[in-house]
Structure 1
Amino acid sequence: MHLGLVTPVLIQHPSTRSDWEATAEIDEVAQIAETADRLGFHHLTCSEHIAVPTEIAGERGGTYWDPLATLGYLAARTRTIRLATQVLVLGYHHPLEIAKRYGTLDRVSNGRLVLGLGVGTLKEEFDLINAPFTDRGARADDALAALRTSLSTPLPEYHGEFYDYSGFVVEPHAVQPRVPLWIGGRTKRSLRRALTHGDGWVPFGLRLSELADMLAAAPLPENFDVILSTGAAFDPLGDPERVVRSLTRVRDAGATIASTSISASSADHFAEQLEELHRIALAEGIDFT
């Protein structure tokens, strides 16, 4: 099992945001990314919302840094850590838009892109940009199939129900022969979607017992990743025993990658917490290679 990092600052949920994050700047995020990179963490994350309605922002948060610009900057400040969109909403983009923009990110980062992708649930945001909402699941399936054939070639061609194209040049494109696609969701359908089109599944909002049952009922292909959250933010310096318990629980539930959040009072403290998490994880046999 590898360890990934839910990057602070970039998403600010009212119930989990630390005070220091409200005024943090990109250099502080980069400091944390550089520490995680040096220690060998698997990936860092950045999610996507274009505009959150004010009444929903009070509950779910309204701060979401743009993943393309943010990950592009962090790519220049790191060397090996993977850059994961967790998640990019498929219905907001044409597949070739993703292939061009994020294929360029894959190139400038020397092949470190992970595309975490989701169907999306915020109808108000779909309506804002005139994106179809009611058939978004079917459109997402078609977009995933299109992306799989289009990400790593300069001459993409795809003929599907919603997307149909050929005779276009997309350059630059992704340098990885197969960009990892991680599919987010909380339903059996999202797991089927991940098994059909993706390289990993990023579930949310489910109990570990539910996840274990779902995974047991679905034979997973070789090298398929299951990215499970370790839950509430870790305090490795203050409560190392909980870190060990949580890592053990997600590993036993079938995680190949544990997605970790960190409690901290500043960027410097966050980096110290990462150092201690790394030490604990090594002692527990977590892979940082």
Structure 2
Amino acid sequence: MTLRFGLVLPIQSIGDDIPTLVDQLRAEVQAAEAAGFDAVFLTEFHQARGGALVSPLLVGAGLLAGTSRIRFGTAVVPTPLHHPVRLAEDVVMLDHMSRGRVILGLGIGHQPPDFRLFGVDRSARVSRTEEAIAVLEQCFSGQPFSHSGEHFEVTGQVTPAPYTAPRPPIWMGAHSAPGLDRSARLADLWLCDPERHIDVVARLAEQYRARCAVHGTTPRVGLFREAWIADSAAECEAEWAPHAMQVHRLYYNVGVYLEEFEPWVTQVQSREDFTLDLLGPGRFLYGSPDEVRATVTEWVGKTGAEYLALRLRHPGGPGHDATLSAIRRFGAEVIGPLGAGVVSP
């Protein structure tokens, strides 16, 4: 299967207000389409300090304006925070508006403050997610249905039916054994998170494939990675890596790095211990075009991934102009040479 590339967009930009950021992202989406990226993605976070883009499907509808090919996806929606009927209707509308260019990425959510904000019991996030997906599937059928469950009582019909038949693709982010099984049962692609080392991702991918075999589903693996391209790795480390590290320090602080996957977490006692040398290898895709292509080929060989969702820009920088240049360079020097040349096993 041919390798495809997606672009994960930032939800904040230090020094830019929300209208300016949206204008910049619209230009970056158009550049990504011209460069050969398959899709662009937005994450969903709430209560970000200083404000950030929320309601990714709404924002995505605006970002697709002026494009004709590139898709938009969520990477990922915290499913328990959404009523499945409302989520289904939003997805269906974007599916029609874009003529079939929407990907629904789902996860179980993480941040306790967000569950409090939405008034949702975090301890029930797994059962609520599973039930919400069951309701989503019935919503996407375009047929009348009735659902009576632990979390949702729904009777009716979501119209219109999706533009995409039988429904837009559903991707799932997960790293636990139950999450991998859920991805194998209910999703069209498993998307790994950006925190796990590529060797860990390879092991998780094997577990996911084993569950797909049990459930009789087709395994499809996607990688969410931080990425940048320049004339040298040293240039990337000087101009881009500090900002990627800042985002991952936040991840570390909120408990996303886990000892079962990253045994070193108990050894990190200060900011000085959390270094690029510790974190970058196996997680950050950067360097010269030759280095980036070689790393992509290595990672695809290890994981069998057919999709790379790359986040180039972070809130602190590099900024819009540099990101546009990097998008174009990825298109010309990575996607062009590799898009038709690297095939997943």
Q: TM-score range by the shorter chain?
A: 0.7 to 0.9
Q: Normalized per residue, which structure has more helix?
A: 2
Q: Residues 229 and 21 (structure 1 numbering): CA distance in 2 closer, same or farther, change over 3 Å?
A: farther
Matches within 5 A, 1:210-229: 210-217=200-207, 218-219=209-210, 220=212, 224-229=219-224
Q: Secondary structure at the match of 1:259?
A: strand
1:3 is aligned, of 2, 5, 13, to: 5
Paired position in structure 2 for 1:230: 225
Paired position in structure 1 for 2:132: 143
Q: Structure 1: where are the runs of 5+ without partners?
A: none
Deviation, structure 1 residue 29: 0.8
Tell me the alpha carbon deviations over residues 104-136 of structure 1, each in whole angstroms, 9 at most, x when there is no partner: 111111111100111111111111221121111
1:127 is aligned, of 91, 102, 116, to: 116
Deviation, structure 1 residue 246: 2.8
Deviation, structure 1 residue 156: 4.3
Q: Distance in 1 between matches of 2:318 and 2:116?
A: 38
Tell me the alpha carbon deviations over residues 215-258 of structure 1, each in whole angstroms, 9 at most, x when there is no partner: 22333466543111333x31245522331233123212221101
**TM value normalised by structure 2:** 0.71
Deviation, structure 1 residue 164: 3.5
Identity of aligned residues (%): 24
Q: Secondary structure at the match of 1:229?
A: strand
Paired position in structure 2 for 1:48: 44
Answer yes or no: is the 8 Å Cα contact 1:84–1:116 preserved in 2. Answer: yes
1:242 is aligned, of 274, 291, 316, to: 291
1:197 and 2:208 correspond:
no
Q: Distance in 1 between matches of 2:120 and 2:32?
A: 36
Q: Residues 104 and 196 (structure 1 numbering): CA distance in 2 closer, same or farther, change over 3 Å?
A: same
Q: Distance in 2 between matches of 1:51 and 1:20?
A: 17
Q: Secondary structure at the match of 1:3?
A: strand
Paired position in structure 1 for 2:308: 258
Higher relative contact order, structure no. (Cα contacts within 8 Å, ≥ 6 residues apart)? 2
Q: Quick one: which amino acid aligns to residue 180 of structure 2?
A: L
Q: Structure 2: where are the runs of 5+ without partners?
A: 233-287
2:34 is aligned, of 15, 32, 38, to: 38
1:118 and 2:107 correspond:
yes
Q: Distance in 2 between matches of 1:94 and 1:76?
A: 26
Q: Residues 66 and 287 (structure 1 numbering): CA distance in 2 closer, same or farther, change over 3 Å?
A: farther
Q: Quick one: which amino acid aligns to residue 34 of structure 2?
A: R
Matches within 5 A, 1:169-184: 169-176=157-164, 177-184=166-173
Paired position in structure 1 for 2:250: none
**TM value normalised by structure 1:** 0.84
Aligned residues: 273
Q: Distance in 2 between matches of 1:250 and 1:82?
A: 24
Paired position in structure 2 for 1:155: 144
Q: Residues 5 and 38 (structure 1 numbering): CA distance in 2 closer, same or farther, change over 3 Å?
A: same
Q: Secondary structure at the match of 1:117?
A: strand
Q: Distance in 1 between matches of 2:44 and 2:173?
A: 13
Q: Distance in 2 between matches of 1:23 and 1:96?
A: 29
Q: Residues 153 and 236 (structure 1 numbering): CA distance in 2 closer, same or farther, change over 3 Å?
A: farther
Larger Rg: 2
Q: Secondary structure at the match of 1:135?
A: helix
Q: Residues 92 and 245 (structure 1 numbering): CA distance in 2 closer, same or farther, change over 3 Å?
A: same
Deviation, structure 1 residue 285: 2.7
Answer yes or no: is the 8 Å Cα contact 2:36–2:336 preserved in 1. Answer: no
Q: Quick one: which amino acid aligns to residue 33 of structure 1?
A: V
Q: Distance in 2 between matches of 1:257 and 1:156?
A: 34
Paired position in structure 1 for 2:75: 86
Name the stretch that deviates more: 204-213 or 28-37.
204-213
Q: Distance in 2 between matches of 1:107 and 1:157?
A: 24
